[in-house]
Chains A and B, each alone.
Chain A
Amino acid sequence: MKRILPLGICLGLMGMILFFYPLSFATKEKYLREEGLQPTVLPSEITGIAALDFKGLAADFQLLQAIFFIGQKIDRSEMITVEDWQRFIRMIHAVIDLDPYFFDPYYFAGALLAWGPGMYEDAIGILKRALDHRPDDAFILFRIGFVYYYFLNDFENGARYIATAAQKPNAPDFYAPLAARLSYYAGDTNFSLLLLKSMLKDTRSPEIRKYYEKRILALEGMQILENAVRRFQEERQDSPKNLEELVDAGFLDSIPEDPYGGHFYLMPTGRIYTTSKLVEIKEHSQTVLEN
C-alpha cells in the first residue's frame, strides 16, 4: 500500500498534465489569435550579431517561423492580407541575409509568392538574390524563367532564363529543348502542363504541391476541351458556338469542372479559359475586396 499510493499519485498527476496541456495550449493560441499578435521580424543585423556562431541554425529557425506563420493561415483558410505577405517577405529576406546559400527560402518563397498572392515581382526578386550565391543552380534559373513565362507572359525572359539554366552543370536534359520551344509554344496549354508536371516531380512541400496539382487539374480540363474544339473544327470545318455544342455533338461526354470553382468557356479565338481566372473563387473575391 505504501508503494502503490505514491505511484498512484504520480500517475494521477501525469494524467492531469496530459488532460490540461492541450486545453491550456488551445486557450493560449485563442488569445494570441484574438490579440492579432504576429511573429516579430528582427532585422538580420540584430539576429546576425545575437546568433554568434550559430547563424546557420538561426536561419533554419527563422525559416521555420516563416513557414509556420503562412502555413497555419493557409491550413485554417484564414484571410491572408497584403501586410501578412509583406511580413512573410521580410522574414524570408532576413533568413537569406543570415545564410545566403540556403536553398529552401528561395524555393519556398519563390513558389508561394507567385502561386498564392500573385506577387510575381517579389518572387522574382527573391529568386534573383540566389544568383549571387548559387550561380550554378539550374533549378533557381528555371524557376525565374517559369515565373516570367507562365505568370508574366514575358516569353523572351522566360526562354532566356531557362536557356541559361540548361547550360548549367547537372541541369536536367529537358531544359534545353524546353527553352528552344518556349517562344514557339507561348501560351500553349499542353506546353504549360508539361512544365508544371516537371516541377511537381521536384516538389516536396505539401503546400506548394497543392497549388501545382490544382493547376494541373484545371489545365487538364482545358486541354480536354481544346482537343474537342480542334476535332470539331477538323470534322465540321466550323467552330462551335459554345462548349455545350461540343457535348450535344458528341465530342465530349460532359464539360470538366474547374477545380477553382469557376466555369470553362470558349473564347472567340478558339482557346479555352475560365471565369475563375485560375484563382480560387474565394481568394479572388477577397483580393478584389482588399483592392
Chain B
Amino acid sequence: MWPVAAITFLEGIRSRVLYGIFIFACSVILLSFVFAHFFMQDIGKVAVDFNLAALSLAGLLMSLSISVDLIGKDLDKKTIYFVLSKPISRNAYILGKYSGILLISLMAYLIIALLTCFALMLLQSFHADYFKNFAWLPYMQAVFLDYIKISLFNALILFFGSFSTSSFLNMMFSLCIYIAGQSYSDVIRFLSVQHHGEQISPVVHYVIQTSKYIVPNFELFDMKILAAHGRLMAFSDLIPIMGYGFAYIALLVGLSMIIFRKKEFL
C-alpha cells in the first residue's frame, strides 16, 4: 500500500495545477487585505471569512483536478495493468491511492493554513481594535473540520473513480453530490416554511427527505461562520461530527475496494 501512496503523493506534488491552486489561494488571501478596509467594525470576521474561503476553495479545486486525475490516470493510460502485475493487491492499491491523496491534501492544507495565519496576524496587528472576537482555537477547529470535509470529498471521488469510465464523469458526479450535500439542509429548512399557501409536491418532499440518508451532509463540517465570530464548538459536540465523517469515509473507501476488486480490465 505504501509504495502506491508514495507514488501518488509524488505524482500529485509534481502536478502544475497544484501551483496554480496555490497562486489562487494566495490571491484570495491578499484580497482579504483589500476587502477588510471596506468594512466598519467587524474586520476580524471579514478577514477570517476570506482566509477560510481561500483554504476551502483551494481544497475543493485540488480535489476536483488533482484527485480526479490521480484516480483516473492509471485507467486512462492503461498503467493499471503494470501496477496490478506487481505483488500489490487491489485493496492495497485503493488504500494506497487514497492515502497518497490524503497526504497531498494534508500538505497543501498545512501550507495554506500557515499562510492564512500569517495574513491574519498581519491584519490583526493593523486593526487590533477590530479583532476583539477573533480567537485562534475556533479558527484551527474550522481548518481541521474543513480537512475532514475534503477527506470525505476525496473518498467520494475515489468511490466514483472505482467504477466510472471517465475522469470527467467522476468530476461531475462528485461535484453534484457535493452541491447536494452542502445545500439539502437549507432546502429542507426552506420547504418546512409555508410559502403563501403553495403546496410542495409530495414526490419532491420524499426525494429530499430520502436524500439525507444517501448523500453525505457536507454542511456539518462547515464551521466558518462560528470561527469568524470566535465561537468555539465544545469537544463533546465535535465527536458526533467527526464520527459521522470517519464512518462515511470508511464506508466509501470500503465500497470502492469491493467494486474495484470485482472490476474487469479488458
**Chain A residues packing against B (C-beta within 8 Å):** 45, 48-50, 52-57, 59-60, 63-64, 67, 99, 101-104, 107-108, 203-205, 208
- Given A45-B190, A60-B49, residue A53 in contact with residue B41 (CB < 8 A): no
Do residues A52 and B182 form an inter-chain contact, with CB atoms below 8 A?
yes
B179 within 8 A of A: yes
- Contact A107 B53, CB 8 Å, known A53-B219, A56-B228: no
A56 touches B225 (CB 8 A): yes
Kindly count the residue-residue contacts between A and B in the assembled complex, taking CB atoms under 8 Å apart: 75
| Distance, CA A54 to CA B182, complexed state (A) | 10
A104 engages B224 (CB within 8 Å):
no
Contacts of B49 in A (CB 8 A): 56-57, 59-60
**Given contacts A54-B56, A205-B40, A60 and B183 within 8 Å (CB-CB):** no
B38 touches A64 (CB 8 A): yes
Bound Cα distance A48, B42 (Å): 21
Q: How many whole Å from B206's CB to the nearest CB in chain A? A: 19
B107 near A: Cβ within 8 Å? Answer: no
Asked if A103 meets B41 with Cβ closer than 8 Å, knowing A53-B218, A60-B46, the reply is yes
29 contacts between A and B (CB under 8 A): A45-B193, A49-B190, A50-B183, A53-B56, A53-B218, A53-B219, A53-B221, A53-B224, A54-B56, A54-B57, A55-B225, A56-B45, A56-B53, A56-B228, A57-B50, A59-B49, A60-B49, A63-B39, A64-B35, A67-B38, A99-B228, A101-B45, A101-B225, A102-B45, A103-B42, A104-B39, A107-B40, A108-B40, A205-B40
Q: Does B186 sit within 8 A of A, measured CB to CB?
A: yes
Say whether A104 contacts B56, CB under 8 Å. Answer: no
Residues of B within 8 A of A59 (CB): 49
Measured CB to CB, the residues of B under 8 A from A are: 35, 38-42, 45-46, 48-50, 52-53, 56-57, 130, 149, 179, 182-183, 186-187, 190, 193, 218-219, 221-222, 224-225, 228-229, 231
> Which chain B positions have C-beta within 8 A of A107?
40-41
Q: CA of A101 to CA of B41 in the docked complex: distance in angstroms?
A: 13
B183, A52: Cβ atoms closer than 8 Å: yes
Task: Assess whether A49 is in contact with B183, with CB atoms less than 8 Å apart.
Answer: yes
Bound CA–CA A129/B130 (angstroms): 22
Which residue of chain A lies nearest to B222 when distances are taken between CB atoms in the complex?
A53
B229–chain A nearest beta-carbon distance, Å: 4
Question: Taking CB as reference atom, which chain B residue is nearest A203?
Answer: B40
The residue of chain A having its C-beta at the shortest distance from the C-beta of B179 within the complex is A52
Chain B residues contacting A205 (CB-CB under 8 Å) are 40
Which A residues are in CB contact (< 8 Å) with B182? 52-53
List the B side residues contacting A104 at CB < 8 Å. Answer: 39-42
Residue pair A49, B187 in contact (C-beta under 8 Å): yes
Q: How far is the CA of A206 from the CA of B169 in the complex (A)?
A: 51
Asked if A101 and B222 make an inter-chain contact with CB atoms under 8 angstroms apart, the answer reads no
Q: Are B41 and A204 in contact (CB under 8 A)?
A: yes
B231 CB, nearest partner CB in chain A, Å: 8
Min C-beta distance of A240 to chain B, whole Å: 43
Selected contact of A54 from candidates B46, B53, B179, B193, CB within 8 Å: B53
Rounded to whole angstroms, the CA-CA distance of A50 and B182 in the bound complex is 9
> Contacts of B229 on A, CB cut-off 8 Å?
101-102
Given the interface pairs A103-B41, A204-B40, the reply to whether A49 lies near B186 with Cβ below 8 Å is yes
Contacts of B42 in A (CB 8 A): 102-104
B residues within 8 A CB of A48?
Answer: 186
Contacts of A60 in B (CB 8 A): 35, 39, 46, 49-50
Contact A99-B40, Cβ < 8 Å, known A49-B187, A54-B53: no
- Other 7 A-B pairs with CB < 8 A, given A49-B190, A53-B219, A60-B39: A48-B186, A52-B182, A55-B222, A60-B35, A64-B35, A64-B38, A103-B45
Which B residue's beta carbon lies closest to that of A64?
B38
Q: How far is the CA of A104 from the CA of B187 in the complex (A)?
A: 27
Known: A60-B46, A103-B45, A205-B40. A45 touches B224 (CB 8 A): no
Q: Most chain-B Cβ atoms within 10 A of its Cβ — which of A60, A203, A204? A: A60
Residues on A with beta carbons closer than 8 Å to the beta carbon of B48: 56
CA distance in complex: A124, B231 (Å) = 26
Identify the interface centre among B41, B182, B228: most chain A CB within 10 Å of its CB. B41
